[in-house]
Amino acid sequence: MKIVVALKQVPSRDSSLRVPAGGTWIDESDVTYEINEPDAYALEAALQLKELHGGEVIVVCAGPDGAASSIREALAKGADRAIHIQEDKLHQADTLGLATVLAAAIRAESPDLVLTGLQSDDIGSGQTGVVVAELMGLPSATIIMAVEVKDGSIRVKRELEDGWFQHVTLPLPAVLTIQSGINKLRYATLMGIKKAKTKELRKVSAADLGGVPTAQLRCEKVYLPGRAKQTQILEGDARTAAAALADKLKFEVRVI
């Protein structure tokens, strides 16, 4: 089974985010990066499917030079090879633009299955997998919790709202977007890290794949969200703040 995993490199969850005045994106100068968390689960799902059914796992990642560190990490965890679509101004592309170059790269591989995370932790449009599927003319299913391969098709468990689930069966090839937390992520072993250095990491430019279409959605500004409520911050050391909060709970909220 040939599986493509589309993954994205995003600022780490605990990065402090600063927006330059009048900015349309964050100041990236002292941000650290990691594999987008849902994509890490998609990679793990792909590696587990390969262990069960054999085949090949190919990572496709669009991003600047720095994204290579996340691609190497995926190779170290067990992906067989990778395609790095070099694109510096990825945040200026919209979902259709990004999906267009990803689809071009993936189409050339003719995979049986394409996996990606259900959304990115940075832009979070939650659409890339579905748009890639539509551009490739493939069926898709989203927010997937479990994948079972049955000759020529896959049966997957979709998460619905309010604790409901549903099984659906799709013919292959197909595209799935994977929910976070569905499996246990493996760590790269020392051997894996060593082996990763010898694995194929092919770099292509977005232009080689036909280019990123001009964004239809233009970001005008990025800003701190307004507060829905006026928060009373209780100051002082832990003891003082906790005592002040307990007082509020007793005399204002009246739950003690």
Within 181-220, which residues bind other proteins (CB under 8 A)? 181-182, 215-220
36 vs 86, beta carbon nearer other proteins: 36
Position among 22, 29, 152, 223 found at the interface with other proteins (CB under 8 A): 223
Within 19-38, which residues bind other proteins (CB under 8 A)? 19, 24, 26
- Should residue 152 be labelled a site residue for other proteins when binding is judged by CB under 8 A? no
- Burial level of 179, CB count in 10 A (0-12/13-18/19+)? buried
191 vs 238, beta carbon nearer other proteins: 238
Q: Which residues pair with 201 in a beta bridge?
A: 82
Half-sphere exposure for 141 (CA within 13 Å, toward CB): 23
**Strands 153-159 vs 140-150: parallel, antiparallel or unpaired:** antiparallel
Token reading at 71: 């691609």
81 vs 186, beta carbon nearer other proteins: 186
159 backbone dihedrals φ, ψ, rounded to 5°: -90, 130
193 backbone dihedrals φ, ψ, rounded to 5°: -65, -40
Within 95-124, which residues bind other proteins (CB under 8 A)? 95-96, 99, 118, 121-124
Q: What's the gap between Cα 64 and its chain centre? A: 16
Buried-exposed string 107-132: b where 16+ CB fall within 10 A, e elsewhere: bebebbbbbbbbbbbbbeebbbbbbb
Position among 61, 83, 130, 212 found at the interface with other proteins (CB under 8 A): 130
Token reading at 43: 């990679």
Position among 51, 53, 69, 166 found at the interface with other proteins (CB under 8 A): 166
Position among 20, 66, 148, 171 found at the interface with other proteins (CB under 8 A): 171
Position among 180, 199, 206, 209 found at the interface with other proteins (CB under 8 A): 180
Interface segment toward other proteins; rule CB under 8 A; list 60-68, 104-112, 186-194, 247-255: 247-255
- Should residue 139 be labelled a site residue for other proteins when binding is judged by CB under 8 A? yes
Position among 143, 147, 201, 212 found at the interface with other proteins (CB under 8 A): 143
Q: What's the gap between Cα 19 and its chain centre? A: 22
Interface segment toward other proteins; rule CB under 8 A; list 55-63, 107-115, 168-176, 199-207: 168-176
